[in-house]
């Protein structure tokens, strides 16, 4: 794939997987069957089904999740770098712990 095609794939992943209008079909359309998915709050996952399960649970907790880019995508070879911001209000406020 060309650099521009690679950037288009990454842009689509951010828009449809992490964006405000979640499209679960993007997992099957863009991810390899043996995708290795890393997210800072859990152990790495392998496979589309694990990623789909994560996305469903994550979207339940953060139904108004939205990522958006803050800079141009940078591509070299098979690698694409992206920079973005996130807004993720929770579905319910977390319980408060009162400190004494």
Q: What is the C-alpha to C-alpha distance for residues 83 and 63, in angstroms, rounded to an integer?
A: 22
Q: Give the architecture (CATH level 2) of 3-87.
A: Roll (3.10)
One DSSP character per residue, 19-80 reads SSS--THHHHHHS-TT-EE--TTS--EESHHHHHHHHHHHHHH-TT-EEEESS--EEETTEE
Residue 94's pLDDT is 53
Q: Write the pLDDT tens digit of every residue in 33-55.
A: 999 998 777 789 999 999 999 99
Residue 25 or residue 1, greater confidence: 25
Query: What does the chain come to in residues?
Result: 100
Q: How confident is the model at residue 30 (pLDDT cuts 50, 70, 90)?
A: very high
Cα 87 to Cα 75: distance, rounded to the nearest angstrom: 25
What residues does each domain of the chain span? 3-87
């Amino acid at each position: 794939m060309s650099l521009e095609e690679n950037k288009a794939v990454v842009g689509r992943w951010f828009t449809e997987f992490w964006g405000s209008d979640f499209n679960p079909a993007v997992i099957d359309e863009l991810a390899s069957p043996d995708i290795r998915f890393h997210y800072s709050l859990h152990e790495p996952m392998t496979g589309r089904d694990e990623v789909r399960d994560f996305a469903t649970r994550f979207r339940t907790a953060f139904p108004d999740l939205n990522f958006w880019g803050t800079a141009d995508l940078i591509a070299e070879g098979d690698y694409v770098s992206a920079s973005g911001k996130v807004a993720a209000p929770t579905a319910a406020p977390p319980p408060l712990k009162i400190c004494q």
